[in-house]
Amino acid sequence: MAETPKAENLTWHRGEIGAGDRRKAYGHRGAVLWLTGLSGSGKSTLAHRLERKLLERGCVTYVLDGDNVRHGLNADLGFAPDERKENIRRVGHVARLFADSGALVITAFISPYRADRDQIRAMLPEGDFVEIHVAADLATCEERDPKGLYAKARAGEIKGFTGIDAPYEAPETPELKVDTGSQDVDGSAGDVLAWLEERGYFDAED
């Protein structure tokens, strides 16, 4: 049986649990690791590798992505501009709840608009929003085209596809930019973990 995170000697003397209590209990701070990048840049692969490495390390973590959000919470939303905006707004709020719960939550959405991402940053406490630009150039993403979406967009079968006939607004000053064009997923995950480690995210106290 694995070691469990039980910490039975912890006690609280306040009625309410605060961020510091959760941090002490879980051994790390809560935050949103917000991945943004083109379709095919490797967001989802990186997100799940990060989740695995964080869990192996004993962290509380979870991935929010199209798979578990679009079919549930946001099943009422399509892909029109207003609906994309509402999709990202809700994801931002759910991510905020997870970060508030003390988890290191990883989101994997193209989230092409700077204003949408900045809105989510603004609603989180300082340091809780870690914007990570998953950067591979368009040619690389289009060559990978794991879901065949670029081909469809080029053929005009999909309208408003980011990078083809809709803009991608790359972050200007992200916390971190990982090069998923030239390094493998473990290299990129290592970059993120090193960044978090250096800035004390894995410390049980501030």
**Within positions 34 to 73, which residues make up the interface with a second copy, using CB under 8 A?**
48, 51-52, 55-62, 64, 68-69, 72-73
Active site residue 41: no
Residue 199 as a binder of a second copy (CB under 8 A): the answer is: no
Token pair of 76 as six digits:
């009422």
**Within positions 145 to 184, which residues make up the interface with a second copy, using CB under 8 A?**
none
- C-alpha 29/C-alpha 43 separation (Å) is 22
- Which residues are CB-neighbours of 146 under 8 A, at least 6 positions away? 40
CB of 64 to a second copy, least distance (A): 7
Residue located via tokens 């000053």? 173
Q: Are 66 and 73 in contact (CB under 8 A)?
A: no
Candidate ranges 88-96, 132-140, 151-159, 166-174; the one touching a second copy (CB under 8 A): 88-96
Candidate ranges 89-97, 111-119, 147-155, 176-184; the one touching a second copy (CB under 8 A): 89-97
Candidate ranges 92-100, 142-150, 160-168, 172-180; the one touching a second copy (CB under 8 A): 92-100
Smallest CA-to-CA distance from 199 within 176, 168, 173 is with 176
Catalytic residues: 111
The residues of the shown chain that bind a second copy, judged by CB under 8 A, are 1-12, 15-17, 21-22, 24-28, 48, 51-52, 55-62, 64, 68-69, 72-73, 90, 93-94, 96-98, 100-103, 123, 204-205
